[in-house]
Homo-oligomer: A and B are copies of this chain.
Amino acid sequence: MAVRRTAGPRPPAEDPGISLGVLLFLPYRHLEQRIIDAVVAAGYPITLSQARVFQRIDPAGSRLTTLADAAQVTKQTAGFLVDQLVAQGYVTRVVDPSDARARLVTIAPRGRAAIEVAGRVQDQIEGEWRRHLGADAADELRSTLLRLREITDPWAGPPADGAPVESD
């Protein structure tokens, strides 16, 4: 966990002692919370845990185990959350034509509608950030974070699982 070493009341914004961990976490939480709030307000109730799995679903469909790895939860937990997403109509499970043991979690129309709302809010927030930081700094932030991902994210991206077929 990120560590704070300065004493006394809240340090000013330019405090060099604030940890990178907290600095990464603050905008993340801000973005996440605003998007969830907007999606829920638009009539698509979803919890943080559900959303953290949902956002990892590849548009072409993802296997449960893949989702579990990406979201860093057990497959049981991922299954529990996907069950809820299915019950709420955001996703469907289809058999994987290439492997009868597996099924692909795919995004349903209602899920796509929720993503639409989330995307608009996300664009708006990123626009606010860009206006605050300036276009150059915003571009640099993204490219630096992409490079940071190379050494902090063991998971390289969703595999292509093949053409989905309806199952339940």
Shortest A126–chain B CB gap in Å is 6
Say if the beta carbon of A147 comes within 8 Å of chain B.
yes
Q: Quick one: CB contact mask for A6-47 with B, threshold 8 Å, 1 for yes?
A: 111111111100111111111111111001100100000010
Residue in contact with A160 in the complex, picked from B9, B26, B142, CB distance below 8 Å? B9
With A21-B35, A141-B141 as contacts: A129 and B148 at CB distance below 8 Å: yes
What's the number of copies of this chain in the assembled complex? 2
| A9 CB contacts on chain B under 8 angstroms | 58, 60, 158-160, 165-166
Given A19-B122, A21-B28, A132 and B147 contact (CB-CB distance below 8 Å): yes
Which residues of chain B are near A67, meaning CB under 8 Å?
none
List residues of A whose CB falls within 8 A of some B CB.
Answer: 1-15, 18-32, 35-36, 39, 46, 48, 51-52, 54-56, 58-60, 72, 115, 118-119, 122, 126, 128-129, 132-133, 137, 140-142, 144-153, 155-160, 163-166
